[in-house]
């Protein structure tokens, strides 16, 4: 049987700035990464394509005036992330050194459209908001209408904004953010049609996927003092459930420093069947495990 190369962040991980923006540097790094692929001789892009030329000219202008506090950089970053998200949905994974982004001949309308969607959502004539479309279930719709009238005088946008704000505030607490990560992982597993068991037992990982013999442990923060308890949980899961695969999943926005400290456990091979990844790479990790299990059987 061929040796199984365990999926790791260094082999399947995509940069966080591909998925989300933390500050202007993420926009800069994303644009420059795409530009490096666009400008590469014998690369995946047609050098004289009008859309590719327009993108190169944009980047040249950004370099001259600077990336920081440049609103066009912000909007282009949003546009690029939307394209990467579409690419990821269509083909599960991508490599910017191989796969291409289709650039329009004129980027200005695309950037302007992003700006209008961001700051003038009500002016988008193609998207009409109504309780009927948002809440197909009549009982849920009736409840939403009552709350909207009571709290926001019938203003649907104000009602939806308040719901999002409350969710954001609730996720700031430690326990809530862990549950949010668990729900994200559970959703991704169910999308792959995998049975998920929630353990929540001392000495076992948070989630267990029987068909893959996979244990999933969630951590939303990391301190060096957490290492002993984590290793104990992973070791106990290996012993009790005879797991073939273990993965620790952390948020996308965990600091790079904390992530590398956590990955030191993986590199030391304290737990041989362990991978440590960000939640944005979880689907690809599970897909790799599925492939390995097919070969194994």
pLDDT digits (tens, 9 = 90+) for 212-248: 999 999 998 898 899 999 999 999 999 999 999 999 9
pTM summary value = 0.67
* Distances, alpha carbon 95 to alpha carbons 12, 58, 83, 129, in Å: 10, 22, 13, 36
Which two three-digit tokens encode residue 289? 């495990």
* pLDDT over 60 (residue 20): yes
Residue 123 has pLDDT above 60, yes or no: no
Residue 205 has pLDDT above 80, yes or no: yes
- DSSP assigned state of 202: T
Give domain limits for the chain: 9-122, 128-170, 174-296
Q: If you average pLDDT over every residue of the chain, what do you get?
A: 86
Give the DSSP letter of residue 155: -
Cα 24 to Cα 29: distance, rounded to the nearest angstrom? 9
With beta carbons less than 8 A apart as the criterion, state whether 217 and 246 touch: yes
Query: Rounded to whole angstroms, how far apart are CA atoms 285 and 262?
Result: 17
In the chain, the DSSP E strands lie at: 197-198, 207-209, 214-218, 245-250, 274-278
Q: What pLDDT, in 10s, does the model give residues 100-121?
A: 999 998 888 888 888 777 666 5
Can you give the pLDDT at residue 119?
Answer: 62
59 to each of 44, 77, 291, how far by Cα in Å? 18, 12, 39
Closest residue by Cα to residue 189 from 181, 70, 139: 181
- Residue 223, Cβ density class (10 Å: 0-12 exposed, 13-18 middle, ≥19 buried): exposed
Q: What is residue 268's three-state secondary structure?
A: coil
At 147-180, the pLDDT tens digits run 888 888 888 888 888 888 877 766 555 555 788 8
Query: What does the pLDDT read at residue 194?
Result: 93
């Amino acid at each position: 049987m061929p040796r199984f190369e365990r999926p790791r962040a260094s082999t399947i991980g995509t940069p966080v700035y591909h998925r989300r923006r933390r500050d202007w540097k993420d926009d800069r790094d994303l644009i420059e990464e795409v530009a490096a692929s666009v400008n590469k001789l014998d690369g995946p892009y047609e050098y004289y394509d009008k859309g590719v030329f327009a993108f190169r000219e944009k980047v040249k202008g950004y370099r001259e005036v600077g990336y920081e506090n440049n609103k066009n950089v912000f909007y282009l970053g949003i546009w690029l992330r939307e394209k990467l998200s579409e690419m990821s949905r269509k083909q599960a994974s991508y490599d910017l050194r191989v796969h291409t982004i289709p650039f329009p001949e004129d980027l200005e309308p695309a950037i302007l459209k992003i700006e209008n969607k961001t700051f003038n959502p009500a002016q988008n004539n193609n998207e009409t908001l109504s309780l009927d479309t948002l809440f197909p279930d009549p009982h849920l719709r009736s409840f939403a209408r009552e709350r909207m009238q009571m709290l926001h005088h019938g203003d649907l946008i104000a009602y939806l904004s308040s719901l999002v704000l409350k969710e954001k505030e609730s996720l700031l607490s430690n326990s809530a953010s862990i549950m949010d990560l668990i729900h994200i992982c559970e959703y991704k597993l169910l999308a792959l049609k995998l049975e998920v068991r929630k353990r929540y037992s001392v000495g076992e990982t948070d989630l267990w996927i029987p068909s893959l013999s996979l244990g999933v442990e969630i951590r939303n923060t990391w301190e060096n003092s957490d290492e002993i308890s984590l290793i104990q949980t992973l070791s106990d899961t290996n012993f009790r459930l005879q797991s073939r695969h273990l993965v620790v999943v952390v948020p996308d926005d965990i600091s790079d420093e904390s992530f590398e400290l956590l990955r030191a456990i993986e590199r030391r091979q304290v737990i041989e069947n362990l991978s440590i990844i960000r939640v944005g790479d979880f689907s690809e990790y599970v897909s790799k495990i599925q492939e390995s299990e097919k070969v194994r059987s």
